A and B are shown apart, each in its own frame.
Chain A
């Protein structure tokens, strides 16, 4: 669905900063999240987890636990079905281990009991006989041919023979003659980078309430980024019909990609089926960190050649991503995104996905891109330093623009990279003075964005108000932006629209809330649904006026006669048409179903000033400015919020956050005290500059904005710290001990 050709459309609702519909519930404590509901006769579930990084399960004896006070059911993997599809089998095996435990914290068995305390006591009575196996948690170690094998037989055919079986897939992108390109360079820099795994860090642990009968009918209430995904995963893992499982998404306390899979819902359903009662499971923070999806950790080689004038002649990257104990595909995104900001004659990226004895990786905001772009943008910055060039001028000189053959294949349409770079250059931040031990860094960021499967149903209520039914959990204010687009299209005030999120039985399939897709794709479907309703309203009015349907025009919430043969009729408002709908053919509604494409890629540029303490190695963020193309900012507050929130997550990744494994393969920092995410006092104000280069693929020009902001901070901060400290940093996070060591080397 293309951009509307109403040159410079004059938006009335879109672009304003209205109050969100879930605001009052969320500031008064009324909003119901995953852990906030109870059910009659409810039991509490609790999961027993592996203390070992890698072990064979020789036997599980649940007899003592089953007899413990208050215990109504105990389940193991034997209580789950056998999906044919490897994807679902992996989900099952991650929910409850089968044959082997693959990482510290891997779920092994679960109990349901009449109280939390009884459930907690009962899991200690489950006896698991383990045969401990050698383990591996580092990506480079796991790739060695003699490394302990996490899972056998999982490598795709494109992995060359002779590599470790932990290497599961390989990707390659690029174009042009690399050798010729590097031969033209005046300066070539090649460096190796490492980044630690981080966690999405949503404040709400996974939580669900599940009920399943022996007839296969059930319900799940849970915090998720996709109720349809939960339905599919549970149906496959339990061996029940998806149509019989109603999944209701609660309010969600953050996801950032981490709630695009299931961990506890199938287990709670299995416990419910066995006990005959509803079962609630709420993860602890320790469980969240040990067993839910962190990001990949990486090891990367980047080589870039540049002329004395700053033109990049060739670029090559080799990326090694470990995604935990199951095959993952994330390196593909990393390899595609690495050089996306550049217009290059010769470029190649290779990627390797690797298994280790760590929890199964799951998406975290622009999965794969922050790390690869960190490495690329670090080398570009070092080249600028070595050649005495302005880093913004060099980005502008090499920037991808409309018509650029991207490093990953497609040719770019309208993109906003040059505009964001120019905005950064013109901003006072770029030329502000710096003091001692201070440095300024910048980085470009990129994300593909996604459209995907989407259904929207829009009802014209008989009192002239509007109900929108959509199927994507609202994480950051999307019900507001969807209501705004419905109001805009129909020509009614924002407060006449109420948007609700359907359960799986109430609306057709929707992809999960991911890929920065909701404001784009659900918005697009909402506009289309509104247009369908408008068409029907014009038809009704044409009947009343006795004129042709195409002689009725919709404008600002009114049907009006249009054209020479329409006659003179007083305009009819939406409310007037709705009030008599029963007499003109019945209720009026519009709906739209689409697999939306045309999401429109997104670019951003981040500028940061840091100060490094030479005595402690601590880094302070002094000033931070974000420039990002939003296509069209539907609700600017929430666009800014995405930019600020993403940047701060990136600050955490750059400076503090890190999964730390001991020699024993156990996670050493499974709590918010030791896995330290940024707090308010760590940060300055985060300034935002929204640019609007309309996306040709959306009627209002909307692009997804949620993911791009986490991409640039890693390199921007590393470049700033490297310049401040006078030493090029090549490993994340740049925690004080690591920086101190680099400075004293």
Chain B
């Protein structure tokens, strides 16, 4: 099986890679591009640990084929901070202890950022339903919801 050339933009950088036709975007990111911030918790789209955005839409990268991102724009956790400046969500997740083991954190941050872009002033219930596709086994979600709301308030005020 011959590999397929793909040309895409990842976190604003033009990126080219070769991959097999059955290879997931998650495998491409992790194994071919060294972007291991997206995690594989299930490989079936149930846990959200591999969340990225594809042309601005929140997706599980384990359910997207690498070849599908040709010509597209992909944002991953590695692109969330602006140099040394953390995104408010990232900074507040640390301040509010919204992570324990941290394996779900990249996916949750990507999902939360995507929510706040669409809905800058969500209710707690809206945050909980938006993040229902991101499993966290450590925190019971409580501090995550509080951190998202605190970041949302700060971003609205900015």
Chain A contacts to B: CB under 8 angstroms: 17, 19-20, 22-24, 26-33, 35-36, 116-117, 200-205, 251-256, 282, 284-285, 475-477, 635, 637-638, 640-641, 644-649, 671-673, 677-683, 685-686
Contact of B77 among A28, A33, A646 (CB under 8 A): A28
- Give the CA-CA distance A23 to B41 in the complex, in Å: 20
- Of residues A285, A635, A638, A647, which shows the largest number of chain B Cβ atoms within 10 Å of its Cβ? A285
Q: How far is the CB of A196 from chain B (nearest CB, A)?
A: 18
Cβ–Cβ < 8 Å partners of B66 in chain A: none
**How does the 8 Å CB contact mask read for B41-68 relative to A, with 1 for contact and 0 for none?**
1111011010000000000000000000
**A638 touching B86, Cβ below 8 Å:** no
Interface size on B, residues (CB 8 A): 60
4 additional A-B pairs beyond A641-B97, A682-B132, beta carbons within 8 Å, are: A26-B99, A27-B80, A253-B41, A681-B129
**A31 touching B102, Cβ below 8 Å:** yes
Contact sample, A vs B, 15 pairs, CB 8 Å cutoff: A19-B95, A26-B99, A27-B93, A27-B106, A33-B39, A35-B30, A200-B137, A202-B103, A203-B136, A253-B101, A475-B138, A638-B97, A644-B142, A672-B41, A679-B132
A interface: dominant SS: loop
In the complex with contacts A28-B86, A256-B137, A644-B140, A638-B100 CB distance below 8 A: yes
Cβ–Cβ < 8 Å partners of B143 in chain A: 637, 640-641, 644
**Closest 4 CB pairs between A and B?**
A29-B37, A253-B103, A26-B102, A648-B140
**B137 touching A203, Cβ below 8 Å:** yes
- B127 interface hit (Cβ, 8 Å): yes
Cβ–Cβ < 8 Å partners of A28 in chain B: 37, 77-78, 80-81, 86, 90
Contact of A477 among B37, B49, B100 (CB under 8 A): B100
Cβ–Cβ < 8 Å partners of A251 in chain B: 101-102
Q: How far is the CB of A284 from chain B (nearest CB, A)?
A: 6
- Give the CA-CA distance A204 to B35 in the complex, in Å: 17
**How does the 8 Å CB contact mask read for B117-140 relative to A, with 1 for contact and 0 for none?**
000000011011101111111111
- B152 interface hit (Cβ, 8 Å): no
**B47 touching A203, Cβ below 8 Å:** yes
- Give the CA-CA distance A23 to B143 in the complex, in Å: 15
Cβ–Cβ < 8 Å partners of B94 in chain A: 19-20, 23-24, 27
- Give the CA-CA distance A686 to B41 in the complex, in Å: 25
**A677 touching B135, Cβ below 8 Å:** yes
Contact of B100 among A30, A645, A672, A679 (CB under 8 A): A645
Q: How far is the CB of B121 from chain A (nearest CB, A)?
A: 18
Contact of B40 among A27, A35, A254, A679 (CB under 8 A): A35
B5-50 residues with Cβ-Cβ distance < 8 A to A are 20, 22, 27, 30-31, 35-44, 46-47, 49
In the complex with contacts A29-B36, A284-B43, A477-B97, A117-B20 CB distance below 8 A: yes
In the complex with contacts A28-B80, A29-B76, A672-B44, A201-B101 CB distance below 8 A: no
Cβ–Cβ < 8 Å partners of A686 in chain B: 140, 142
Q: How far is the CB of A185 from chain B (nearest CB, A)?
A: 38
**B78 touching A29, Cβ below 8 Å:** yes
B84 closest partner in A (C-beta): A24
**B141 touching A648, Cβ below 8 Å:** yes
**A27 touching B86, Cβ below 8 Å:** yes
- Give the CA-CA distance A629 to B58 in the complex, in Å: 41
- B144 interface hit (Cβ, 8 Å): yes
- Give the CA-CA distance A24 to B139 in the complex, in Å: 18
Cβ–Cβ < 8 Å partners of A282 in chain B: 40
Contact of B103 among A203, A637, A645, A672 (CB under 8 A): A203
A709 closest partner in B (C-beta): B140
A25 closest partner in B (C-beta): B102
- Of residues B76, B95, B124, B140, which shows the largest number of chain A Cβ atoms within 10 Å of its Cβ? B140
- Give the CA-CA distance A117 to B80 in the complex, in Å: 31
Cβ–Cβ < 8 Å partners of B109 in chain A: 27
Q: How far is the CB of A672 from chain B (nearest CB, A)?
A: 4
**B127 touching A641, Cβ below 8 Å:** no
- Of residues A23, A29, A256, which shows the largest number of chain B Cβ atoms within 10 Å of its Cβ? A29
